[in-house]
Chain A
Amino acid sequence: MKGTGQVILSTVNISKDFGSLRAVDRVDLQIEEGEVRAIIGPNGAGKSTLLDIVTNRSHPTSGRSYFRGSDITHLPSYAIAALGVGRCFQISKLFAGLSVFENVQIACISKAGKVYDIFSGGDRVFESEVNGILEAIGLKAMAEAEAGYLSYGDQRRLEIGITLAMKPSLLLLDEPTAGVSRAEGHDLMRLVKSLAVDQNLTIVFIEHDMDMVFKYADKISVMHLGRLMTTGTPDEIRRNAMVRAVYLGEQVA
């Protein structure tokens, strides 16, 4: 659904230099609660770096970022995650040698604050919660499979599942449908969209596939050469001449 007007995530004048290269250039991004926001732009536009900065995987050269109004610029990644910012990576980060079940289970353990619990049995702990999530992401049948052997699309699903177990209010996805078949990609995005609606989750996703972007995003932000060029509804972006020139033009023509 469209945003409620409450800003959940914002960056103020964020920049990131890698040596002499300015990867992210004075970006002011505002994400409203409940919206599904796509970030698009050619390779090297600074999209992933922007998500890295927001989750403090990489430190900004200057500028600040805020989650629900509080400054998270210098919070460590684990603290930002604990606040409710979930992150899925361009290359899925899973516990590859563990089962699908265990992957989600570890997230549930963290969410419940049981990380330092050495007294209860760990094998089936949070079984019903884990099964609920596996059901939601459609991996129930694969519960005992080793995560590293899943198909690319299923690994994406699993990573979303792991992140969901943390009950985040904001989910950041980096190219969720890259390397996945078209049908699987649509399945994934439908899953993401339904989560946004059902659990009132705010979603920010980076995507190259324009079909996915125009179909599933409420709003689209366009980045080019580190700068945030414009933000608008899918219709506005489709009509924006500048966007067509620098980005869509390259794709369509």
Chain B
Amino acid sequence: MIHNKPLIFGALVTVLLTILAAFLPEHRSELITRMLIMALFATSINMQVGRAGMMPLGQAQFFGLGAYAFGLLCVKGGLPLSYSFLLALLISLVAIAIIGYLCLRGDSLTFALLHLAFNILLVTVAAKWISLTEGDQGFTKVPRLDLFPGNFGFYLFVLLVVLGCYILIWMIVNSPFGKVMQGLRENEERIRFLGIYSKRFQLVIFVFSSLFAAVAGILWAMMQKSVFITYMSLILSAEGLMMCLIGGMSSFFGPSIGAAIVVVVSTLASTYLEQWQGLLGLIIIVCVLGFRGGILGGKRGTMGL
């Protein structure tokens, strides 16, 4: 019974979004695609924050890493798209494993700060290694994987990839592994005294979560047909956490709702308001103080989503 509710919710939202994407004018339908990708990014963060009690302050580094790896492989490397996609994931995986291993050397505060530090480091590399990345200018002509033709076709492609990722994440958080993730969030020492090597367990969570962020980054590069330094900015890292906070970290779909709100507000408000990030801050304050645990909040996701 508990399981049906999110399933129905997910199906309804998918249908609704697809109708919107099909019938909205082009410059608006892209908004739907943005929402989907950011929702995946936010959900990847929440695997750590809401489920496992880890605080990845620099998640955009892996979003950006995916985007750069993919963009460079196909634009500068001239590789076919599907190879670029897979190879970008592989490169991300290696980097994620190394960064994760190093971030998990200390306690949870050390983890959060090292995570942020690696984000700063990667941004600096991307900005200064101009011969490779074009620095602050970024580079364009990143191709889309044209599984289906046209803009709506690209929406469908993104939808398929994001749905696939959601199904995987859903499996992970609802498996025995997912139970232990919750235990980790509640009491790491008890986890250790149950015979579990908690650092290694955290590393596995870290790899899953960061890989999904990399997938989101690759999709984003395709959508924008370009790669910019902002894809791994600290602001994006912070926005991702805000999405989780606004939507509710204790529920599966909360961060996605948060992502949709942030995307809509930032896109619409930025055309009218110069300081849209101020508005975003206001929304967070209202959500945190007004909803107690986000829009879909409640201590254990009272809405069951």
- CB-based contact A125/B171 at 8 Å: no
Q: 1/0 per residue B286-301: CB within 8 Å of A? A: 0000000000000110
Using known A-B contacts A78-B192, A87-B193, A106-B183, determine if residue A97 contacts B177 with beta carbons closer than 8 Å. Answer: no
Chain B nearest CB, measured from A93 CB (Å): 4
Q: Mark A119-159, 1 if CB is under 8 A from B, else 0.
A: 11111010000000000000000000000000000000000
Which one of B180, B192, B198 contacts A109 once the chains associate, using CB atoms below 8 Å? B180
Instruction: Determine if B204 is an interface residue (Cβ-Cβ < 8 Å).
Output: yes
Of the residues B172, B179, B194, contact of A125 by C-beta under 8 Å: B179
The size of the chain B interface, using a CB distance under 8 A, is 30
Q: Bound state CA distance, A158 and B182, in angstroms?
A: 17
Question: Which residues from chain B contact A98 at a C-beta distance below 8 Å?
Answer: 182-183, 186
- Cβ of B186: which chain A residues have Cβ within 8 Å of it? 94-98
A106 to B183, CA, bound (A): 7
When the two chains form their complex, are residues B180 and A119 in contact, meaning their CB atoms are under 8 A apart?
Answer: no
Contact check, A122 vs B175: say whether CB atoms are below 8 A apart. yes
Closest-CB distance, B187 to chain A (whole angstroms): 5
Contact (A95, B182) CB under 8 Å given A118-B177, A162-B190: yes
From A93, A121, A123, B187 is in contact (CB under 8 Å) with A93
Report if A116 contacts B (CB, 8 A).
yes
* B193, A93: Cβ atoms closer than 8 Å: yes
B6 at the A interface (CB under 8 A): no
Q: How many A-B residue pairs have CB under 8 A?
A: 102
- Choose one: B176, B187, B197, B300; the contact of A95 (CB below 8 Å): B187
Taking a contact as CB atoms under 8 Å apart, the answer to whether B176 and A166 are in contact is no
Q: Is the CB of A110 within 8 A of B190?
A: no
Instruction: Report which of B178, B189, B196 forms a contact with A110, defined as CB distance below 8 A.
Output: B196
Interface SS of chain A:
loop
Cβ contacts A165-194/B at 8 Å (1 or 0 each): 010000000000000000000000000000
With A and B bound together, what is the CA distance between A243 and B246 in angstroms?
A: 61
Q: How far is the CA of A79 from the CA of B204 in the complex (A)?
A: 18
With both beta carbons as reference points, the residue of chain A lying nearest to B53 in the complex is identified as: A97
Assess A95 versus B190: contact at CB under 8 Å? Given A106-B183, A109-B180, A115-B176: yes
Q: How far is the CB of B129 from chain A (nearest CB, A)?
A: 36
A115→B193 contact, CB < 8 A: no
Using a Cβ–Cβ cut-off of 8 Å, how many residues does chain A contribute to the interface with B? 36
A106 touches B197 (CB 8 A): no
Q: Are B196 and A78 in contact (CB under 8 A)?
A: yes
Q: Is there a chain B Cβ closer than 8 Å to A117's Cβ?
A: yes
Q: Which of B172, B185, B192, B299 has the most CB of A within 10 A?
A: B192
Residues from chain B with a CB closer than 8 A to the CB of A115 are 176-177, 180, 196, 201
Docked-complex contact A110 and B195, CB < 8 angstroms: yes
Q: Is the CB of A120 within 8 A of B196?
A: no
Q: Does B267 contact A (CB under 8 A)?
A: no
Asked whether, in the complex, the Cβ of B174 is within 8 Å of the Cβ of A110, the reply is no
> How many Å lie between the Cα of A119 and that of B178 in the bound state?
10
Query: B185, B190, B194, B300 — which one has the most chain A CB atoms within 10 A of its CB?
Result: B194
User: In whole angstroms, what is the CA distance A142 to B155 when docked?
Assistant: 48
Q: Mark A39-71, 1 if CB is under 8 A from B, else 0.
A: 000000000000000010000000000000000
A122 touches B176 (CB 8 A): yes
Q: Is A35 an interface residue (CB 8 A)?
A: no
Which residue from A55, A76, A79, A125 sits with its C-beta under 8 Å from B176? A125
The answer to whether A102 has its CB under 8 Å from any CB of chain B is: yes
A102 touches B176 (CB 8 A): no
A110 touches B194 (CB 8 A): yes
CB pair A117 B177 closer than 8 Å: yes
- Known: A79-B197, A106-B194, A107-B194; 13 extra A-B contacts, CB below 8 A, are A55-B193, A77-B192, A78-B193, A95-B183, A102-B182, A109-B179, A110-B180, A117-B177, A118-B175, A122-B177, A122-B178, A123-B2, A125-B176
A and B contact pairs by CB, cutoff 8 A, 9 listed: A77-B193, A81-B194, A86-B193, A95-B186, A97-B299, A105-B179, A109-B179, A115-B196, A123-B174
Q: Which 3 residue pairs of A and B lie closest in terms of their CB atoms, listed nearest first?
A: A82-B195, A95-B186, A81-B195
